[in-house]
Structure 1
Amino acid sequence: MVFCFQCNRGQDSLAWGLREKQAILLCLPQVDCSIYKKYPVVAIPCPITYLPVCGSDYITYGNECHLCTESLKSNGKIQFLHEGRC
């Protein structure tokens, strides 16, 4: 059996799979990290403002910029999971 899913606008799918014969899809809000691509990954100028966000690696980042830095370093493997601490 094949399942097709589509996330809502402004969301991206992180992972999907099957659990107990039910399809699972995790739709997540997207964070636009493209604005940071113009900088070398080691020199992205992130603000010191503390607005914690949780990454898909379950690490709390100080703000979206710090998350985007790690996302770019990991070639997009680390994604935004939710606002606040993990």
Structure 2
Amino acid sequence: MPFIPSWIKVIFIIALAFPLYSETFFRPPPRPPPECNIHKKPSYPCSKEEDAICGTNGLSYFNPCVFCTFIFNSNGSFSFKHYGKC
């Protein structure tokens, strides 16, 4: 009968170790808001790469360049809320 307690120990150890290796344990650090100073005087049009940003005005913007362009055109009437669509 010592075989059964060994399996119980193994299951218990695996159950304790599982949170250390789960995806939620290794979350990446939060991304900082976009740096709009580099888009102040763009010498090129915004790229078509998709990296959605939600503004505090409730609108979604396609990427940081588009977001910053709208901020400058609105004289800063809204700001960054979070990455992703609103």
User: Is the TM value for this pair above 0.5?
Assistant: yes
Q: For 1:47, what is the secondary structure of its paired residue? A: coil
The aligned residue for residue 59 of structure 1 is 59
What percentage of residue pairs aligned between the two structures are identical?
38
1:10-42 CA distance string (max 9 Å, x none): xxxxxxxxxxxxxxxxxxx53221112223xxx
Alignment of 1:60-75 (within 5 A): 60-75=60-75
Query: Where in structure 1 do 4 or more consecutive aligned residues deviate above 3 Å?
Result: none
The aligned residue for residue 25 of structure 1 is none
Aligned pairs, number: 55
Q: For 2:68, what is the secondary structure of its paired residue? A: helix
Alignment of 1:1-86 (within 5 A): 30-39=33-42, 45-86=45-86
- State how far apart, in whole Å, the 2-side matches of 1:51 and 1:32 are: 14
Q: For 1:68, what is the secondary structure of its paired residue? A: helix
User: 2:40·2:69 contact (CA, 8 Å) conserved in 1?
Assistant: no
Q: Which has the higher strand share?
A: 1
Q: Which has the higher helix share?
A: 2
- State how far apart, in whole Å, the 1-side matches of 2:40 and 2:60 are: 22
User: 1:51·1:63 contact (CA, 8 Å) conserved in 2?
Assistant: yes
TM-superposed deviation, 1:73: 0.4
Change (3 A) 1:44 1:71: farther
One-letter amino acid matched to 1:36: H
Unpaired runs of 5+ residues, structure 1, are 1-28
When the two structures are superposed, what TM-score results if normalisation uses the length of structure 2?
A: 0.56
- State how far apart, in whole Å, the 2-side matches of 1:85 and 1:71 are: 17
When the two structures are superposed, what TM-score results if normalisation uses the length of structure 1?
A: 0.56
